């Protein structure tokens, strides 16, 4: 039976189409190098869903529907504290997997995921993925290395949040966003327009502190602000603040 994802209220579209064998994005993902017989398994019950910016893909505690691969757009993965405060644990860009640790642990989702901008995802049925994972040792090894890298990044992120003051945390976040998402070629602004509240959730700061610190950076000619857009003007100084604060 085809997978039937739980759809949010304003989802743009859902389709059962899409061919992993001919997908032009496959060469950039962990599926690169898989034999055709395995790709056929992965696509046999695959769905493609498009979400609008601000829509929730799934919430903490939801049942796992399958492996999510981000085809286009950007996502944020977060947890909500009992106080209601949100902490962004990771950001996702094409063509990364989403919810993979939960799938391998056969647990419900331990985090929530929201689209930061219009996003298109592929959902591979859980048992189809596990069949390939169990029967292809090379692929399983690549997935293990991928998960190890995610763990390392998560530990580094936690270290930055617990060991730095406000300016250092925000400087770290700006450097991370520029390295992770890159810059827009036309104007060199960071290719991600996070809300100030998202920057706060990423750095474990209040939104007010984020706004004040960004204004301070701007007044010192370290960055340029344009709406939500941010351009780093003095990379060396931002790096120094990240390291010393």
With beta carbons less than 8 A apart as the criterion, state whether 3 and 18 touch.
no
pTM of the complete model: 0.85
Burial of 88 (0-12, 13-18, 19+ CB in 10 A): buried
Q: What is the tens place of the pLDDT at every residue in 135-163?
A: 999 999 999 998 999 889 888 888 887 78
DSSP 43-105: HTT-EEEEE-TT-EEE-TTPPP-EEEEEEES-EEEEEE-TTS-EEEEEEE-TT-EESHHHHHH
CA torsion sign for 102, 108, 112, 113 is: positive
Q: Edge-to-edge, what's the strand order for the sheet holding 47-51?
A: 13-15, 47-51, 119-125, 66-72, 97-98
- Beta bridge mates, 98: 68
Tokens of 70: 């981000």
Give all domains of the chain, ordered by start, each with its CATH number.
13-139 (2.60.120.10), 161-244 (1.10.10.10)
**What was the pLDDT predicted at 10?**
37
160 or 213: which carries more pLDDT confidence? 213
pLDDT digits (tens, 9 = 90+) for 162-183: 788 999 999 999 999 999 999 9
Both structure tokens of 175? 């450097």
Q: What's the confidence (pLDDT) of residue 81?
A: 84
Residues 6+ away with beta carbon under 8 Å from 183:
189, 190, 191, 231
So what's the pLDDT on residue 29?
82
Q: How confident is the model at residue 12 (pLDDT cuts 50, 70, 90)?
A: very low
Q: What is the mean pLDDT of residues 221-237?
A: 95
Q: Select, from the ranges 29-38, 116-125, 154-163, the one with the highest average predicted confidence (pLDDT).
A: 116-125
Tokens representing 162 are 């617990």
- Residues 41-100 pLDDT 10s: 998 889 999 999 999 999 999 999 899 999 999 999 999 888 888 899 999 999 899 999
Q: How many CB atoms lie within 10 A of CB 26?
A: 19
Question: What letter does residue 190 receive in the DSSP assignment?
Answer: B
């Amino acid at each position: 039976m085809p997978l039937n994802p739980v759809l949010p209220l304003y989802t743009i579209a859902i389709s059962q189409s899409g061919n992993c064998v001919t997908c032009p994005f496959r060469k950039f993902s962990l599926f690169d190098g898989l034999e055709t017989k395995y790709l056929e398994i992965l696509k046999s019950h695959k769905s493609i869903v498009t979400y609008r910016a601000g829509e929730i893909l799934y919430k903490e505690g939801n049942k796992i529907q399958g492996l999510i691969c981000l085809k286009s757009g950007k996502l944020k993965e977060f947890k909500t504290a009992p106080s209601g405060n949100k902490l962004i644990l990771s950001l996702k860009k094409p063509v990364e997997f989403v919810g993979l640790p939960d799938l391998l642990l056969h647990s419900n989702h331990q985090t929530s995921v929201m689209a930061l901008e219009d996003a298109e995802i592929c959902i591979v049925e859980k048992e189809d993925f596990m069949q390939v994972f169990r029967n292809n040792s090379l692929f399983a090894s690549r997935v293990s290395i991928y998960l190890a890298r995610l763990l390392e990044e998560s530990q580094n992120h936690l270290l930055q949040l617990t060991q730095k003051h406000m300016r250092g945390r925000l400087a770290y976040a700006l450097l991370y966003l520029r390295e992770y998402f890159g810059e827009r070629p036309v104007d060199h602004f960071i290719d991600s327009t996070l809300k100030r509240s998202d920057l706060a959730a990423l750095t474990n700061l209040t939104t007010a502190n984020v706004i004040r610190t960004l204004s301070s950076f701007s007044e010192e000619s370290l960055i340029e602000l344009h709406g939500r857009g941010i351009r780093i003007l003095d990379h060396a100084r931002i790096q120094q603040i990240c390291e010393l604060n």
